[in-house]
């Protein structure tokens, strides 16, 4: 196997490791950075549980190799909250947008990217914006309400929150 030195900034912290050329970003995050909030769901890009932001863009981390993220900035669910919960995290809590929680990190990362592009979305736009993420528990109504809650709060705060 071909080994490569990969250096990725994850949530503001540099992670440099030797990896096999075929190591997926999701495995780099979980195994080399020891961040387990990014979940492995289907390994086929269908579920979105592994969604992270790479240079600010939502990416299913099971679809790209770690070497493709070399010298890039990655944000995972662990990097979303500051001193307080991010409005999306608060929204999922307040509006009961989660049940088992398995899809939640990827759903929040997708919603974060979506709201950065559309801070005042309609319900239909939200549903389309998260359509790449599957949830088998909630039926999406509470997730949509959580994202609407977050969008409103973020607008009130004047930005990303």
69, β-bridge pairs: none
The CATH number that applies at residue 129 is 1.10.150.120
Cα distances from 122 to residues 22, 68, 101, 152, 154, in angstroms, run 40, 34, 24, 11, 15
Range of the domain at 7: 3-79
pTM of the full predicted structure? 0.95
Domain boundary among 58, 79, 100: 79
pLDDT by 10s per residue, the chain, length 161: 799 999 999 999 999 999 999 999 999 999 999 999 999 999 888 999 999 999 999 999 999 999 999 999 999 999 999 999 999 999 999 999 998 999 999 999 999 999 999 999 999 999 999 999 999 988 899 999 999 999 999 999 987 65
Domain count, the chain: 2
The CATH number that applies at residue 33 is 3.10.20.30
Q: Say if residue 99 is in the same domain as residue 145.
A: yes
């Amino acid at each position: 196997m071909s080994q490569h030195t990969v250096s990725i900034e994850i949530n503001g912290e540099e992670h440099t490791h030797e990896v096999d050329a075929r190591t997926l970003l999701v495995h780099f995050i979980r195994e080399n950075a020891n961040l387990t909030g990014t979940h492995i769901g289907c390994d086929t890009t269908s579920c979105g549980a592994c969604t992270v932001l790479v240079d600010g863009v939502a990416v299913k981390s099971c679809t790209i190799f770690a070497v493709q993220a070399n010298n890039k900035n990655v944000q995972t669910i662990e990097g979303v909250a500051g001193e307080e919960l991010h409005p999306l995290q608060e929204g999922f809590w307040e509006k009961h947008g989660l049940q088992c929680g398995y899809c939640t990190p990827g759903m929040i990362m997708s919603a974060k990217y979506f709201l950065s592009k559309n801070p005042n979305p309609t319900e239909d736009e939200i549903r389309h914006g998260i359509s790449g993420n599957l949830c088998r528990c909630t039926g999406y109504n509470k997730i949509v309400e959580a994202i609407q809650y977050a969008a409103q709060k973020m607008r009130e705060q004047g930005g990303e929150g």
